[in-house]
A = this chain, B = another copy of it.
Amino acid sequence: MASRGVNKVILVGNLGNDPEIRYMPSGGAVANITIATSESWRDKNTGEQREKTEWHRVALFGKVAEVAGEYLRKGSQVYIEGQLQTRKWQDQNGQERYTTEVVVQGFNGTMQMLGGRQGGGQGMGAQGGMGGGQQQGNWGQPQQPAAQQQNNFAPQQQSAPQQAPAQQPQQQYNEPPMDFDDDIPF
């Protein structure tokens, strides 16, 4: 708690792929999704219609990650509220690189599933929170070993401040199988 300043991102868009779920040693879930937003306009010069799609990396933590894993799919439309976070990592050549993501975590973010047709999911809303519980996964057993292998060079160290777990447990979130598609948009 206690923040000096405001750091807020609001996105409404569709997933470019199924979520990728991982579990931290503690059992907390992490979901990575990419969301597309786009704008179209008429080019002042050529007069032709143009469109530009922006892809956003979103990382969800805790309960909201579990919900994402269970209900979101490629194409799902979501409302995301989170924070901008840039993390440093080393590429294969040992070079420092930076990646900026929208982090949805604890009480600083929310995810709302929209529509109800486009991804299997349906009208589920979920606020962040590490409420967790069922330690049904762990760091040593990633679900996408292949993908995992090639990038053990992106540290991550997610040490952001945490909000209260809010008591509110109950909710059952069975872990989703995974599924990669990647003709990833970036």
Most chain B C-beta atoms within 10 Å of own C-beta, residue among A6, A74, A118, A177: A177
**Which residues of chain A in 159-186 are interfacial with respect to chain B, using CB atoms and an 8 Å cutoff?**
159-186
Residue among B2, B28, B180 making CB contact with A127, cutoff 8 Å: B2
- Interface residues in chain A, defined as those with a beta carbon under 8 Å from any beta carbon in chain B: 1-17, 20, 22, 24-26, 28, 30, 32, 34-45, 49-52, 54-57, 59, 61, 74-75, 77, 79, 81, 83-86, 88, 91-92, 96-100, 102, 106-107, 110, 112, 114-118, 123, 125-127, 129-130, 139, 142, 147-148, 150-186
- Chosen A-B contacts, 21 in total, with CB atoms closer than 8 Å, are A1-B40, A1-B41, A1-B166, A3-B39, A4-B39, A4-B178, A5-B36, A12-B79, A24-B176, A28-B172, A51-B176, A52-B161, A56-B84, A75-B180, A96-B185, A116-B118, A129-B164, A130-B171, A147-B182, A157-B176, A160-B173
